[in-house]
A and B are shown apart, each in its own frame.
Chain A
Amino acid sequence: MFADFLLDWLSAVPGFAVPFALAALGLLVIEKAGVLSLGAEGFMLVGALSGIGAILGLGSQPLPALAVSAAAAALLSVLFSFLVVSLRVNQVIAGLSFVFLAQGLTGLIGTTEGWVNRPVEGLRSLSLIPLVDIPVIGPVLFRQDVVVFLTVPAFAVVAWFLTRTLTGLRLRAVGDGPDAADAAGIGVARMRYGAVAAGAALVGIAGGYLSVGTARIWVEGMTGGRGWIAIALVIFARWQPWRALAGALLFGAIEALIPRIAAVGVQVPQYFIAMIPYLATLGVMIWTCLRGNGGSLEPRALGVAHLREDR
């Protein structure tokens, strides 16, 4: 009985963790280049709507629909970059206004196109044979949809890219010391445009996964604040990719756990459980503060616009 519960819960965790993980990974790429993106919730909404739109409007399969989510969010992010990189608008204000823009835009398009509340088939789960036959961990780890299987490699690729490639080094240089990077001949604006587009694409996939993979329906404002949680996750992870993945798993585990204990009828106050990940976040913050800046890779020029003449 308890084993069944545990298995059912654990096998649901990856699906709930993926949107947090991919959104946090995308934000991490953007922030490493020194751009603060509070518009995550907006990019997620754009991804969520365009994923469903690709299926209902273009008759796309779920997986290509996620590519549409990525493309739509990346496209919109160019406008964001134009504001904060080229025009050097305050990044906090630009990010917040992007959330409102995306809320209005996705609500309007979803309504006029008639995509609201239309169920779609969604992503199927795949079984990695023969690994799925391993008792206990088989079904948990190897019977998931394809995006879950691709999330861990995506983290590996980004971690490798940021620390082991020249372009990744340049991206981090732009985030840490844009003036020095500029002096060294790195195109700061171009690098930031690229990082924002790539990161927004990942955040867009996270949103698309919510609508196409998890809910299989579009409802206005359906991301429900998960973009904000992703922003907190990046801070929680001190800008380190693998810690962000761990944080996403923690939030996913809680989100999968809450309805399950309620359904079993265990009488624990649900608000207490809902509080746990935030409590953990606070705990990590306090712990890292007490240890000094232990292991934080916060980009030093985060949120600062670069103007060559200011040098």
Chain B
Amino acid sequence: MIRSIATCAALGLAVAGQAPAAFAAPFKLEGEPKVAMILFGPKNDGGWSQAMDEARQRTEKALGISIPVAENIQETATSIRPAAELFIKRGYNIIIGTAYAFSDTFKELSEKYPKVAFVNGSGTTTGPNLESFYGRTYETHYLCGMAAGAASKSGRIGFVAANPFGIVNWTINAYELGARQMNPAAVTTAVYTGAWKDPVKERAAAAALIGQGMDVIGQHVDTPTPQIVAQEKGILATGHHRDMREFAPAATQCSSVWYWDRYFVPTIRKIQAGTWEPRPYGAFLSIKEGGPDIVCCGPAVPKEAADRIMSERQALIDGKQIFAGPLKDRDGIERVVDGAIFGDAELWKMDWFVQGVVTQR
């Protein structure tokens, strides 16, 4: 039953996936760009929202403009719409959203206000004047996994993960593939908390992993709790969203961080020049394109290993693929054939794990 539903869903995606043609013409902005940002969280959340806010400030400096921000806008249409419309009524014509759950409302707004440009972080909707954006975090977590593999003495690495979704699963897989680059016997054990930010569950997960003898803890949740626990217990960690040395300076060896200004600045310039064409599948940004990157490495990563991580980072920029065939999952099923690379549509629904990943099923 479940399998047949999954097959139907996959077929549906395959049909829907027949590529929509690019939108007819580039977007034309009337007047000077006036940019505003809407955050779903508080701007000092230490993670996702704060990274957005920091990118906002760097964008202001780079372009010499001022970008007002509305924070804590709940992920419901009745909260998002008035926040966006207030900006639009005051003449703002580029609106930056920051949440998956803004997707539908942003789609609606983009149709209602065709002369306003919308971009939305981790969104899923696009249109002639709407582009969603997210980062290829498997690249950065692959590099952080290398740091973890190099720093781990036992080869047993723990990972505190939020929900078993594609975007989390691919970070875990890439993390293990990275760790194996440095230590072929490295094993990554992932614990899902089932929540994006629940410090109680995150502490429990990190403590349980450390109790099992893991000596490096990776993470993909929205709080710095796993780092803090690692530091308390005197072991090492890698971070997500921002440079986690802010919260755990001794433990943090590598962080996957967001530099969204590397997307905002060129996008705003293109909108201004009248050459912006939203990508039909949204902007799914690699390290090369600007978005995700790493802050690496801490003192527990030996010099040679750090050099190798940096040369792998360059290789990724030069086009190296992480999920390239031949790639088998932990049950021995071939997931990517020799010579192929794993497509974006498959990435978003990745529900399998590479060899060396231990998780619950």
The chain A residues found within 8 Å of chain B, CB to CB, are 8, 12, 16, 107, 110-111, 114, 116-117, 119, 210, 214-217, 219-222, 224, 255-256, 258-270, 274
Given A117-B46, A264-B212, A215 and B199 contact (CB-CB distance below 8 Å): yes
- Chain B's interface size range is 35 or more
Q: Which residues of chain B (61-103) have a CB below 8 Å from chain A?
A: 72
B225 touches A217 (CB 8 A): yes
**Partner pick for B72 among A107, A217, A224, A274, CB 8 A cutoff:** A107
Interface residues of B (CB under 8 A from A): 41-46, 72, 158, 189-195, 197-205, 207-209, 211-212, 214, 223-225, 228, 247, 358-361
Assess whether A117 is in contact with B223, with CB atoms less than 8 Å apart: yes
The listed residue with most A CB atoms (<10 A of its CB), out of B191, B200, B211, B359, is B200
Min C-beta distance of B255 to chain A, whole Å: 14
Q: A217-B199, A259-B205, A262-B208 are in contact. Are A274 and B194 (CB under 8 A)?
A: yes
Q: Separation in Å of the A250 CB from the closest CB of chain B?
A: 16
Choose among B45, B194, B201 the residue with the greatest number of A CB atoms under 10 Å from its CB: B201
B42 contact set on A, CB distance < 8 A? 107, 110-111, 116, 220
B262 CB to closest chain A CB (Å) equals 25
State the CA gap A110–B41 with chains docked (Å). Answer: 13
In this complex, what residue of A is CB-closest to B197?
A219
Q: Can you list 19 contacts pairing A with B, beta carbon distance less than 8 Å?
A: A8-B211, A16-B204, A107-B42, A111-B42, A111-B44, A111-B72, A116-B46, A117-B223, A117-B247, A220-B41, A220-B42, A220-B45, A255-B201, A262-B191, A262-B205, A263-B189, A264-B212, A267-B361, A270-B194
Q: Are A214 and B200 in contact (CB under 8 A)?
A: yes
- Quick one: given A267-B360, A267-B361, are A219 and B199 in contact (CB under 8 Å)? yes
B199-A270 in contact (CB<8A): no
B5 to chain A: closest CB distance in Å? Answer: 17
Within the complex, the shortest CB–CB distance from A109 to chain B, in Å, comes to: 11
CB distance from A80 to the nearest CB of B (A): 23
State the Cβ distance, B355 to closest chain A Cβ, in Å.
14
Pick the contact of B200 from A114, A119, A210, A266 — CB < 8 Å?
A: A210
Whether B44 contacts A114 by the Cβ 8 Å rule is yes
Is A265's CB under 8 angstroms from B201's CB? no
**Distance (whole angstroms) from the CB of B292 to the closest CB of chain A:** 21
> In chain B, what residue has the closest Cβ to A221?
B197
With A270-B192, A270-B194 as known contacts, state yes or no: A265 contacts B358, CB within 8 Å.
yes
A214 contacts across to B, CB distance below 8 A:
200, 203
Q: Considering residues B208, B247, B358, which has the most beta carbons from chain A within 10 angstroms of its beta carbon? A: B208
CA distance A263 to B193 in the complex (A): 12
Interchain CA distance A274-B224 in the complex, whole Å: 24
User: Knowing A263-B189, A263-B209 touch, does A224 contact B195 (C-beta < 8 A)?
Assistant: yes
**B residues less than 8 Å from A217 (CB atoms):** 199, 223-225, 228
Given contacts A117-B45, A119-B228, A270-B360, contact A260 B208 (CB under 8 A): yes
Q: Are B44 and A262 closer than 8 Å at their CB atoms?
A: no
- The CA-CA distance from A265 to B207 in the complex, in Å, is 15
Q: Is the CB of A263 within 8 A of B191?
A: yes
Q: With A111-B44, A215-B225 known to touch, is A262 a contact of B359 (CB < 8 Å)? A: yes
Q: Report whether B201 and A224 are in contact in the complex, using a CB–CB cutoff of 8 Å.
A: yes
Are B360 and A117 in contact, CB atoms less than 8 angstroms apart? no
Would you call A215 and B203 a contact (CB within 8 A)? yes
On whether the beta carbons of A219 and B223 are closer than 8 Å, the reply is yes
Contacts of B194 in A (CB 8 A): 270, 274
Distance between Cα atoms of A224 and B201 in the complex (Å): 9
B224, A117: Cβ atoms under 8 Å? yes
B186 → chain A closest CB, angstroms: 14
Q: How far is A175 from B265 in the complex, measured between Cα atoms in Å?
A: 63
Q: Name the A residues within 8 Å of B228 (CB-CB).
A: 119, 216-217
Q: Known contacts A111-B42, A259-B208, A260-B208; decide if A222 and B360 are in contact (CB<8 Å).
A: no
Q: Given the complex, which residues of B lie within 8 Å of A216, measured CB to CB?
A: 203, 228
A215–B44 Cα distance when bound, in Å, is: 18
Q: Which residues of B contact A107 (CB under 8 A)?
A: 42, 72
Residues of A within 8 A of B191 (CB): 259, 262-263
Rounded to whole angstroms, the CA-CA distance of A262 and B45 in the bound complex is 28
In the complex, are the beta carbons of B203 and A263 less than 8 A apart?
no
B208–A215 contact, CB under 8 A?
A: no
What's the Cα separation between A274 and B193 when bound, in Å?
Answer: 11
Q: Most chain-A Cβ atoms within 10 A of its Cβ — which of B191, B204, B207?
A: B204
Chain B: which residue is nearest A4 at the CB level?
B211
User: A255 to chain B: closest CB distance in Å?
Assistant: 7
User: How many angstroms from the CA of A220 to the CA of B74 in the assembled complex?
Assistant: 13
A107 to chain B, nearest CB (A): 7
New contact pairs (4) apart from A116-B44, A222-B198, A224-B198, CB-CB < 8 Å: A215-B200, A262-B359, A265-B189, A268-B360
Chain B residues, CB < 8 A from A110: 42
B44 pairs with A261, CB closer than 8 A: no
Set of chain B residues within 8 Å of A265, measured between Cβ atoms: 189, 358
B197 lies within 8 A of A263 (CB): no
Is B199 touching A263 in the complex (CB atoms < 8 A)? no
Asked if A263 and B45 make an inter-chain contact with CB atoms under 8 angstroms apart, the answer reads no
- For the complex, give the distance between the alpha carbons of A268 and B247 in Å: 33
